[in-house]
């Protein structure tokens, strides 16, 4: 396939454009001028349902923003009559900026551009009473949610050990994703959580209502409930939102789908943008079905495909297309590029994960200097994309050793950090002293001598009197049920909260000063100053940053609302760094140079994914591979290792089945220059002692095109035969060269005796290191120690 040959590229249909609009364009609307025909069609098809199928790197955000500008310029809607939905705050922010730029400075107004959750919160505040809430409801994050569930589980006399709260939380989230209120959970789910799932779901919802709180799922669920039960309210919004736009439609779950369908039902001016090939969030409730079904849901929908890719070179694009072609049930797109074929995608195997990290580190530095006819590419333009975050460690270790600057994207977000959440709990108490969850979090933080006993007293009193925990604490103090030093400290805490709360009503209330006062008077900053652990200074910095963030808000309330829905993690400096992140986090991003390590069956595709959802899971993994490759603009390198330490145990790994799916014409197989001869030899013999199933799948690998390709590549290359290769011979001669009782030698553990054999793994009782499970390849017969040095 010659994907970069423009002549063979399918020519998208251009929708008929009314004369009036052509006139506008001709008069020079810059936002229309630099669109390709497909993008332009997507921008100009304003009325009725439109599905914009936008492949990776085809300029979908450009089209989406141009469409918004077009709606405004054409006078179809005022800024506040357009509902534009994204998944992340980052995406919403970017879209606002881009629209603002296109419109020329007028970035304001577009109040209904935001995430599903922030828009739902906005709507829900106006109609809170319809679902039994007050408009001031608080939004709980997953941590609060979990603690609440734990309480309910304990109250229901369930052993949280056997039935973890996480499990229940997952179930409830799943039900909410499907827009099931407790009454609507189908009976097929009745056995969930030891038959008590629905019961606890109901209790949880009731408890949230009492707390005047919602979790993330409830924001959507409550909105859908209101839309479904109150025709008048729904109609009001249907009239208000004349045009609806949705980004990343392939990631919507059922609740979000209903939310959209209800709102779009009357006028059907809904434009959904997405790419079924980039649906990678099925595990958290996203339904690819939503996008696959669009034309059925909205009869007469126009489907516009954006297929010209502006990001990647021809070989990269072709390799990605080759991989994704193995998936069934796609809507189908043919990406093409008018650009250069560029370099073939590179494939390389390594002995183990450390070797892989070492090689990639060197390669990154070489590319940074400029190699093989490439201009130097700086570190900011290079990225390593991994399947699972634990893979990052090998790279961090290596890069620290060689002093290669890197940045890890992901990890806990700013607002999820412990110190931020603690501070927020204090703020929440100041704003609403009845916030019991906040009370529980900080009543003994810093330590105030209020342990379990004291807290359960407070709890009892509060429950008996049907009052908040803060009032329960007052009661406890009045009754003198709290012991000595705890009592005086509790007194100070309660008084503090009262004082802070009072300030929020003061005419000269300055929320920034108040925040500082709270953190000071509570002893919270003091606590971290006295903390000698290495992360304490960072936490104090974060607290400062938190206070600084308050400047952008008028009061604490506004800030709390904002933070409960928003993450801001973009505090990275300008220093040049390689990016390390997960494939999931990389969606929507692009880099000139991309490394995709760890392409090994079980790791990628992830075993768990395949076990849990079978073919569906495998296809999602394949889309993840597609997402990974399509992040690369110029150079994409896939690698795998033959051995990897998994949960502390060495494991033999097989190259990923996705490697065999790469179209050969677009791949160059590299041989690692290191001591290990590239590791293919190693890959060839791993697992010979494993289970029957393993051997069967191994045979498949040997017969696969990808494997043969690599063998060919090997054959005309004089490969160094290092120590490992000799072990290969030993391993290959017999399933296991050892029998019970054999004396062996291990480089790290020394001499020992084999006590058990399980496939290629041996239980060895070492003379000085105790009993360990080791891979046979790592030991040699004790009597050969002198012959085969390590």
Partner DNA sequence: CGGACCCGGTTTTTT
Partner DNA sequence: ACCGGGTCCG
Applying CB under 7 A, does 388 fall inside the site for DNA? yes
The vertex-686 CA angle with 399 and 771, nearest 5°, equals: 80
CB of 430 to DNA, least distance (A): 23
Rg (CA), the chain: 30
Assign 228 to helix, strand or coil. helix
Of 29, 101, 125, 141, the one binding DNA (CB under 7 A) is 141
Q: Which helix or strand (DSSP H or E) is residue 383 part of?
A: strand 382-386
Applying CB under 7 A, does 449 fall inside the site for DNA? yes
Residue (468 or 613) nearer to DNA, CB: 613
Applying CB under 7 A, does 313 fall inside the site for DNA? no
Of 305, 333, 381, 387, the one binding DNA (CB under 7 A) is 387
Whether 62 sits among the annotated catalytic residues: the reply is no
**Residue 74 φ/ψ, nearest 5 degrees:** -80, -5
Instruction: Mark residues 639-668: x for contact with DNA by CB under 7 A, - for none.
Output: ------x-xx--------------------
CA 747 to chain centroid, in Å, comes to 40
Applying CB under 7 A, does 283 fall inside the site for DNA? yes
Are 323 and 629 in contact by the 8 Å Cβ rule? The answer is: yes
Applying CB under 7 A, does 516 fall inside the site for DNA? no
Of 309, 444, 651, 652, the one binding DNA (CB under 7 A) is 444
Q: Is 759 exposed, middle or buried (0-12, 13-18, 19+ CB in 10 A)?
A: middle
Residue (251 or 307) nearer to DNA, CB: 251
Describe the crossing of helices 484-503 and 469-479 by its angle, rounded to 10 degrees. Answer: 140
Applying CB under 7 A, does 773 fall inside the site for DNA? no
CB of 527 to DNA, least distance (A): 10
**Residue 270 φ/ψ, nearest 5 degrees:** -125, 130
In Å, how far are 124, 217, 681 from 117, measured between CA atoms? 10, 8, 52
Are 659 and 640 in contact by the 8 Å Cβ rule? The answer is: yes
Stretch that binds DNA, among 491-499, 581-589, 675-683, 740-748 (CB under 7 A): 581-589
Residue (71 or 423) nearer to DNA, CB: 423
Whether 61 sits among the annotated catalytic residues: the reply is yes
Applying CB under 7 A, does 582 fall inside the site for DNA? yes
Residue (142 or 191) nearer to DNA, CB: 142
Whether 247 sits among the annotated catalytic residues: the reply is yes
Stretch that binds DNA, among 346-354, 361-369, 420-428, 445-453 (CB under 7 A): 445-453
- Nearby residues of 186 by Cβ (< 8 Å), 6 or more positions away: 180
Query: How many CA atoms, within 13 angstroms, populate the side-chain half-sphere of residue 563?
Result: 24
Applying CB under 7 A, does 527 fall inside the site for DNA? no
DSSP per position, 436-455: HHHHHHHTTSS--S--HHHH
Residue (410 or 674) nearer to DNA, CB: 410
Q: Say how many residues touch DNA, by CB under 7 A.
A: 43
Residue (118 or 321) nearer to DNA, CB: 118
3-class secondary structure for 531-597?
A: CCCCCHHHHHHHHHHHHHHHHHCCCHHHHHHHHHHCCCCCCCCCCCCEEEEEHHHHCCCCEEEEEEC
| Window 730 to 749, contacts with DNA (CB under 7 A) | none
| Active-site entry in 40, 60, 417, 587 | 60
Distance in angstroms (rounded) separating the CA atoms of residues 692 and 20: 70
Whether 21 sits among the annotated catalytic residues: the reply is no
> 48: which 2 tokens?
């009725």
Are 315 and 666 in contact by the 8 Å Cβ rule? The answer is: yes
Instruction: Mark residues 204-223: x for contact with DNA by CB under 7 A, - for none.
Output: ------------xx------
Distance in angstroms (rounded) separating the CA atoms of residues 640 and 355: 10
| Window 585 to 644, contacts with DNA (CB under 7 A) | 585, 606, 608-609, 612, 617
10 Å Cβ neighbour count for 232? 6
Instruction: Mark residues 151-180: x for contact with DNA by CB under 7 A, - for none.
Output: ---------xx-------------------
| Active-site entry in 58, 205, 278, 525 | 278
Of 31, 87, 524, 528, the one binding DNA (CB under 7 A) is 87
Assign 270 to helix, strand or coil. strand
Instruction: Mark residues 408-427: x for contact with DNA by CB under 7 A, - for none.
Output: --x--x--------------
Answer positive or negative: Cα dihedral of 480, 481, 484, 490.
negative
| Active-site entry in 44, 173, 215, 247 | 247
Whether 613 sits among the annotated catalytic residues: the reply is no
Distance in angstroms (rounded) separating the CA atoms of residues 781 and 790: 13
Q: Which helix or strand (DSSP H or E) is residue 217 part of?
A: helix 216-229
Whether 295 sits among the annotated catalytic residues: the reply is no
Residue (88 or 713) nearer to DNA, CB: 88
Of 565, 659, 682, 683, the one binding DNA (CB under 7 A) is 565
Of 567, 664, 670, 782, the one binding DNA (CB under 7 A) is 567
514-544 burial: b if 16+ Cβ within 10 Å, else e = bbbbbbebbbbbebbeeeeeeeeeebeebbe
Nearest to 769 by CA among 778, 758, 777, 760: 778
Of 74, 88, 517, 557, the one binding DNA (CB under 7 A) is 88
Q: What is the DSSP letter of 387?
A: S
| Active-site entry in 44, 144, 248, 742 | 248
Applying CB under 7 A, does 483 fall inside the site for DNA? no
Q: Which region holds residue 48: left if phi is over 0, alpha if psi is between -120 and 50, else beta?
A: left
| Active-site entry in 62, 631, 761, 777 | 631
Which residues are annotated as catalytic?
Answer: 60-61, 247-248, 278, 631
Task: Give residues in contact with DNA (CB under 7 A).
Answer: 87-90, 115, 117-118, 141-142, 160-161, 216-217, 283-284, 387-390, 410, 413, 444, 447, 449-452, 454, 565-567, 581-582, 584-585, 606, 608-609, 612, 617, 645, 647-648
């Amino acid at each position: 396939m010659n994907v970069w040959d423009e002549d063979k590229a399918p020519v998208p249909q251009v929708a008929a454009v009314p004369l009036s609009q052509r006139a506008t364009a001709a008069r020079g609307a810059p936002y229309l001028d630099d669109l390709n025909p497909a993008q332009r069609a997507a921008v100009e098809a304003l009325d009725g349902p439109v599905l914009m199928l936008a492949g990776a790197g085809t300029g979908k955000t450009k089209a989406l923003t141009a469409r918004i500008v077009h709606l405004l310029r054409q006078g179809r809607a005022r800024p506040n009559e357009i509902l534009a939905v994204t998944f992340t705050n980052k995406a919403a922010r970017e879209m606002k900026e881009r629209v603002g730029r296109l419109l020329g400075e007028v970035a304001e107004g577009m109040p209904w551009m935001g995430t599903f959750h922030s828009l739902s919160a906005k709507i829900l505040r106006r109609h809170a009473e319809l679902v039994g809430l007050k408009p001031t409801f608080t939004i709980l994050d997953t941590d609060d949610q979990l603690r609440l569930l734990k309480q309910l589980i304990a109250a229901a006399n369930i052993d949280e050990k056997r039935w973890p709260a996480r499990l229940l939380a997952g179930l409830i989230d799943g039900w909410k994703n499907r827009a099931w209120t407790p009454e609507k959970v189908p009976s097929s789910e009745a056995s969930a959580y030891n038959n008590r799932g629905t019961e606890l779901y109901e209790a949880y919802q009731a408890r949230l209502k009492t707390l005047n709180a919602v979790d993330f799922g409830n924001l959507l669920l409550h909105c859908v409930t209101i839309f479904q039960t109150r025709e008048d309210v729904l109609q009001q919004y249907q009239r208000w939102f004349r045009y609806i736009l949705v980004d990343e439609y392939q990631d919507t779950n059922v609740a979000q789908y209903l939310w959209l369908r209800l709102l779009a039902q009357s006028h059907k001016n809904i434009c959904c943008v997405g790419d079924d090939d980039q649906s990678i969030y099925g595990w958290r409730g996203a339904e690819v079905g939503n996008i696959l079904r669009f034309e059925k849901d909205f009869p007469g929908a126009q489907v516009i495909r954006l297929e010209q890719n502006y990001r990647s070179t021809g070989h990269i694009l072709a390799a990605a297309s080759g991989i994704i072609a193995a998936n069934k049930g796609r809507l189908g797109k043919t990406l093409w590029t008018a650009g250069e074929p560029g370099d073939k995608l590179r494939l390389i195997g390594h002995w183990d994960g450390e070797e892989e990290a070492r090689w990639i580190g060197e390669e990154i530095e070489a590319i940074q200097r400029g190699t093989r006819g490439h201009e130097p590419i700086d570190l900011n333009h290079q990225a390593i994309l991994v399947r699972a975050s634990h893979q990052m460690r090998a790279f961090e270790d290596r890069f620290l050793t060689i002093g290669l600057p890197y940045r890890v994207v992901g990890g806990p977000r700013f607002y999820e950090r412990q110190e931020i959440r603690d501070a927020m709990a204090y703020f929440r108490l100041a704003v609403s002293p009845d916030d019991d969850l906040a009370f529980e979090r900080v009543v003994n933080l810093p330590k105030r001598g209020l342990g379990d006993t004291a807290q359960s007293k407070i709890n009892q009193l509060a429950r008996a009197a049907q009052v908040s925990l803060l009032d329960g604490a007052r009661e406890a103090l009045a009754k003198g049920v709290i012991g000595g030093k705890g009592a005086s400290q509790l007194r100070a805490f309660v008084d503090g909260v009262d004082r802070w709360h009072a300030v929020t009503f003061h005419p000269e209330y300055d929320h920034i000063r108040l925040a500082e006062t709270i953190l000071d008077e509570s002893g919270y900053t003091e606590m971290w100053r006295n903390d000698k652990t290495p992360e304490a200074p960072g936490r104090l910095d974060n607290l400062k940053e938190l206070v600084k963030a308050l400047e952008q808000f008028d009061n604490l309330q506004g800030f709390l609302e904002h933070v409960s829905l928003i993450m801001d993690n973009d505090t990275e400096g300008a220093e040049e760094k390689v990016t390390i992140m997960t494939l999931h986090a990389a969606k929507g991003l692009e880099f000139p140079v991309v490394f995709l390590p760890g392409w090994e069956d079980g790791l990628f595709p992830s075993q768990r994914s395949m076990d849990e959802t079978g073919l569906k899971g495998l296809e999602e993994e394949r889309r993840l591979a597609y997402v990974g490759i399509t992040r690369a603009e110029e150079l994409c390198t896939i690698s795998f290792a033959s051995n990897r330490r998994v949960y502390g145990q060495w494991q033999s790994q097989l190259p990923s089945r996705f490697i065999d799916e790469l179209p050969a014409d677009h791949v160059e197989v590299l041989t690692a220059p290191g001591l290990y001869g590239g590791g293919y030899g190693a890959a060839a013999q791993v697992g010979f002692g494993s289970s029957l199933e393993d051997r069967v799948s191994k045979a498949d690998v040997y017969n696969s095109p990808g494997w043969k390709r690599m063998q060919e590549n090997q054959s005309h290359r004089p490969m160094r035969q290092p120590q490992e290769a000799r072990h290969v011979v030993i391993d290959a001669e017999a399933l296991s060269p050892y029998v019970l009782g054999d004396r062996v030698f291990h480089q790290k553990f020394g001499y020992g005796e084999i006590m058990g054999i399980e496939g290629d793994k041996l239980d060895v009782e070492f003379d000085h290191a105790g009993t360990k499970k080791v891979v046979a390849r790592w030991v040699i017969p004790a009597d050969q120690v002198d012959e085969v040095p390590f």
